[in-house]
Chains A and B, each alone.
Chain A
Amino acid sequence: MSSGLPRRIIKETQRLMTEPVSGISAVPDEQNARYFHVHIAGPKDSPFEGGNFKLELFLPEDYPMAAPKVRFVTKIYHPNIDKLGRICLDILKDKWSPALQIRTVLLSIQALLSAPNPDDPLANDVAEQWKMNESKAIETAREWTRVHAH
């Protein structure tokens, strides 16, 4: 965990600053260049629209050979995100590839907000609700977005 920061991280950080992705901001912590403060805007036409979701992203010692650790800090009602903010996303686990980047990971998370997948749930109760009564679940997700993601 030395502060000699790998060039790969420097390069990604520089690119995130100079070519930001629409609806996503990722800013390195002033004290720790491996820790990013992330904001993702709820995608249009999703129950999360209008919300501004805060996440934290940490690049472990063996990044990019290992995936970044990402977590929602803002509460969110989503079948693939549990109440601790942990995300069920294959590229963060076994489908990680060192060719993926902070940018691509955050884009995937943004896409997950547009397309919840209740068949691969992390939050069981939410997924069940999503399958049994989708319109009610979407209403709850909207409500949570209104209450927590502003």
Chain B
Amino acid sequence: MGNSCFGKRRRSDSSYGHGNQPNINSMGGDSAGQTWNHVPGYSNLYSDRPQNGIVMVRGSQMFTCDMNHIWNMSVESLILWTLKEIRRLVDSNQDPPLSIIRLNEIGESESGWVKVVQGMISTIPLDDPLGPAVIALLLDECPLPTVETVEKLYDILKPSSALAEEALQYPAKHRNFTCILGCVAGILAGSKSVELLNEDVLEYLLTLLDPRFAREVILFALVALEKFSQTGENKVTICKTSIHQKLLELEKFRDSHETKFREVGFCAQWCLDNILPLEGRTLTYERLSMEQCNVILNDNDVSEYLKISADGLEARSDALSFESVRSTFCVDEGTWYYEVQVLTDGVMQIGWATKQSKFLNHEGVGIGDDEFSFSYDGCRQLYWYSATSRPHDHPQWKPGDIIGFLIDLEKKEMVFSHNGVAFPPVNDVFQSVSSGFFAAASFMSFQQCRFNFGMTPFKFPPKVPFKKFNDYAFLPPEKKVILPRFKKMTVLSSLSISESSCSICCDTEANTKLVPCHHSGLCMECAMQIEQCPLCRVKIKERVSLIPTNPVTDQGDTG
């Protein structure tokens, strides 16, 4: 599990209610509490916690530092400490850094929350690859703020179009503030998010959507507006502004050679295609020619918050969860190669996964976190297999770097390369699976990369003979479409479901009767999965198929 500290817990479990730690012991058995059961480190941590606020954590060398020291550190030092420690969190059994627990505790009071947020705004440097992810994590850890608390923050910072100008001089501060606004808009979606998007905040964010500002600032202002738009009322307000004009301008950076601008271009285009469509604008997927493209990222095999570009070859996450995707094509024999250009330098786990590999985005489980997948992480410089990691010697990746993925299914080995420099083969995953490998990747918050399955020339083709996905794969034209989300929802709601279908799955015809209760209305497949009648709870003794066992169809038989 690569990301014990990132996105593994759902916000709702950790952060509700000021001043109250969830008491695991008294909640045992509750349905919502089950999420905690997946997080051994956390539950131990909290149940070991005595009332006086001193945390006892066992067995991890990371926490051998003087606790008094942590408890006396300033908010700013705690944030910098977290930034440093988070990179070292590489094991699912590790507990979160003490600094996070301390910050969480400070953030329990209203004034404390404001202090933590102010601390993040002033301290997190622009160039730390994990900066924004740490902001998202800490906000997720702290109790949910009330509208009044966030307004206190507004009173201090006074967001407005005038304040936006300051971003020319202090890009880090404003990148951090916009990132925080986006996270808060996301976690307080609904009526609270409407209250938070006042005129001044809207003006502040809109002003920042301008190429004269640092791209990090533009990017996070854009993400914040997108998150505010998740609430319908805000979307209406935002659409009445100059947003579309600005997005159309920023969309032009989609093909920029500078990776930083490509992120902005990607988000602007994705927003126009998926969240804030503009009347009269042709959706990107409608104007793309996909003729040469035979492999894309699979829009039906992806966790729910990942953003996939209209051409199906680029993906990005702006969610708090650990988002994953597989390609449409898989390989069973021979030697194959694909490349990925990383566009951000934070945590992604990219590699190979079979269909059995599970995406548990809310629990931080992705590629390399089970025995059916293996991944490369160029940020923390790790290989991942079966949720355990081991270091590799590749240099840390930088935006624009090309990572090569070679798999030899005869020799049963994988070779990873960084800008053409290949490293010794690895073979761990072949212990459990030997075929059916898809290209696959998992993304931490605010990460993005682009896949090349061989439609365009590789930057660093390996020296051994290999095959390209794109030369062997086939996709019918209707499968080469990444449908915008709002369109997808429309398609879903127009699907009609037969009244005679199984009442449990609605997929197949109801064809089974339960004995002894004689209830029916379900299919055999569902009936096999349950022990009690879903209607009367009587124990099922027999499942009787209502399909005639002897399908006599003599009619038409003229012979």
| A interface residue numbers (CB < 8 A to B) | 1-8, 10-11, 13-14, 17, 29-34, 37, 54, 56, 64-65, 67, 69-71, 73, 75, 82-88, 92-93, 97-100, 122, 124
Q: A1-B360, A3-B302, A98-B526 are in contact. List 11 more A-B contacts (CB 8 A).
A: A1-B361, A6-B505, A7-B495, A7-B505, A10-B493, A31-B305, A56-B12, A69-B31, A83-B17, A84-B20, A93-B31
Complex Cα distance A39/B493, Å?
21
Answer yes or no: B309 CB below 8 A from chain A CBs. no
* B30 partner, pick from A2, A6, A75, A88, beta carbons under 8 A: A88
Contact A97 B537 (CB under 8 A): yes
Output the nearest chain B residue to A5 by Cβ-Cβ distance. B492
Answer yes or no: B552 CB below 8 A from chain A CBs. no
Most chain B C-beta atoms within 10 Å of own C-beta, residue among A31, A64, A92, A122: A31
Q: List residues of chain B with CB within 8 A of the CB of A14.
A: 493, 497
Q: List residues of chain A with CB within 8 A of the CB of B304.
A: 1, 3, 31-34
Q: Convert B14-32 into 0s and 1s, putting 1 for each residue whose CB lies closer than 8 angstroms to a CB of A.
A: 0011001010001101111
Output the nearest chain A residue to B232 by Cβ-Cβ distance. A30
Chain-A contact segment, one of B149-157, B424-432, B527-535: B527-535
Complex Cα distance A69/B501, Å?
25
Contact A98 B504 (CB under 8 A): yes
Answer yes or no: B376 CB below 8 A from chain A CBs. no
Contact B300 A3 (CB under 8 A): yes
Complex Cα distance A4/B304, Å?
10
Contact B359 A8 (CB under 8 A): no
A71 to chain B, nearest CB (A): 5
* B31 partner, pick from A6, A13, A86, beta carbons under 8 A: A86
Answer yes or no: B255 CB below 8 A from chain A CBs. no
B residues 1-60 with Cβ under 8 Å of A?
12-13, 16-17, 20, 22, 26-27, 29-33
Contact B190 A99 (CB under 8 A): no
Q: List residues of chain A with CB within 8 A of the CB of B488.
A: 3
Answer yes or no: B118 CB below 8 A from chain A CBs. no
A24 to chain B, nearest CB (A): 16
Q: List residues of chain A with CB within 8 A of the CB of B302.
A: 2-3
Contact B31 A8 (CB under 8 A): no
Contact B497 A13 (CB under 8 A): no
Q: List residues of chain B with CB within 8 A of the CB of A97.
A: 532, 534-535, 537
Q: List residues of chain B with CB within 8 A of the CB of A34.
A: 304
Contact A8 B506 (CB under 8 A): yes
B residues 261-303 with Cβ under 8 Å of A?
275, 299-303
* Interface residue tally on B, bucketed by range: 35 or more
Q: List residues of chain B with CB within 8 A of the CB of A10.
A: 492-493, 495, 497, 506
* B300 partner, pick from A2, A54, A84, A122, beta carbons under 8 A: A2
Interface SS of chain A: loop
A85 to chain B, nearest CB (A): 6
A147 to chain B, nearest CB (A): 12
Most chain B C-beta atoms within 10 Å of own C-beta, residue among A11, A88, A92: A11
Would you list the 7 A-B pairs with minimal beta carbon distance, nearest first? Answer: A99-B534, A7-B506, A86-B32, A4-B300, A8-B506, A97-B534, A32-B304
Contact B230 A31 (CB under 8 A): yes
Q: List residues of chain A with CB within 8 A of the CB of B507.
A: 6-8
B4 to chain A, nearest CB (A): 19
* A84 partner, pick from B32, B358, B526, B530, beta carbons under 8 A: B32
Complex Cα distance A100/B300, Å?
27
Answer yes or no: B518 CB below 8 A from chain A CBs. no
Answer yes or no: B464 CB below 8 A from chain A CBs. no
* B20 partner, pick from A8, A17, A30, A83, beta carbons under 8 A: A83
22 pairs across A/B with beta carbons < 8 Å? A1-B360, A1-B361, A2-B359, A3-B302, A3-B304, A8-B504, A11-B506, A30-B275, A30-B486, A33-B304, A54-B190, A67-B31, A71-B12, A83-B17, A84-B20, A84-B27, A86-B33, A87-B31, A93-B30, A99-B503, A99-B535, A124-B26
* B492 partner, pick from A33, A71, A92, A99, beta carbons under 8 A: A33
Answer yes or no: B485 CB below 8 A from chain A CBs. yes
Answer yes or no: B489 CB below 8 A from chain A CBs. yes
Q: Beyond A3-B304, A97-B537, is A30–B485 a contact (Cβ under 8 Å)?
A: yes
Most chain B C-beta atoms within 10 Å of own C-beta, residue among A2, A17, A88, A124: A2
Q: List residues of chain B with CB within 8 A of the CB of A100.
A: 534
B497 to chain A, nearest CB (A): 5
Complex Cα distance A29/B360, Å?
19
Q: List residues of chain A with CB within 8 A of the CB of B505.
A: 6-8, 64
B residues 523-559 with Cβ under 8 Å of A?
526, 529-530, 532, 534-535, 537
Q: List residues of chain A with CB within 8 A of the CB of B26.
A: 124
A28 to chain B, nearest CB (A): 8
Output the nearest chain B residue to A85 by Cβ-Cβ distance. B16
Q: Convert B217-239 into 0s and 1s, putting 1 for each residue whose CB lies closer than 8 angstroms to a CB of A.
A: 00000000000001000000000
Contact A98 B534 (CB under 8 A): yes
